[in-house]
Amino acid sequence: MKKIIMCLLALTLTACASNDNNELLASNDADTNRKNAEGYQCKKEKITGSNFPRKVCTTAAERRAREIKDQEELKRGTRNNIPQGY
């Protein structure tokens, strides 16, 4: 009798787990498709002063905005700065 109950319990638990997994896979596929459409990428960046890299995820639009901002800062920093008073 104990063996039958244990088998039924095991079958019940595995059946429930498989249904949740299918729903999770379907939602992950939809999320992945949306992220791919946005140009979503993740990479690990080293942080100054730390031995642990940090995972940074961005979209294509965010990377482009960051590139433009960095170029503007570079131009501003490399202008002809002639010291006055010489």
User: For the chain, which residues score pLDDT lower than 50?
Assistant: none
Burial code of 45-64, b = ≥16 C-beta within 10 A, e = fewer? eeeeeeeeeeeeebeeeeee
Instruction: Please tell me the distance from the alpha carbon of residue 77 to that of residue 9, in angstroms, as a whole number.
Output: 69
Query: Model-level pTM greater than 0.85?
Result: no
Q: pLDDT (tens digit, 9 = 90+) per residue, 33-49?
A: 777 777 889 999 998 99
- Which pLDDT value is given to residue 37? 74
Q: Give me the pLDDT at residue 58, please.
A: 93
Tokens representing 24 are: 């999770």
pLDDT recorded at residue 60 = 92
Q: Check residue 76 and give its pLDDT.
A: 86
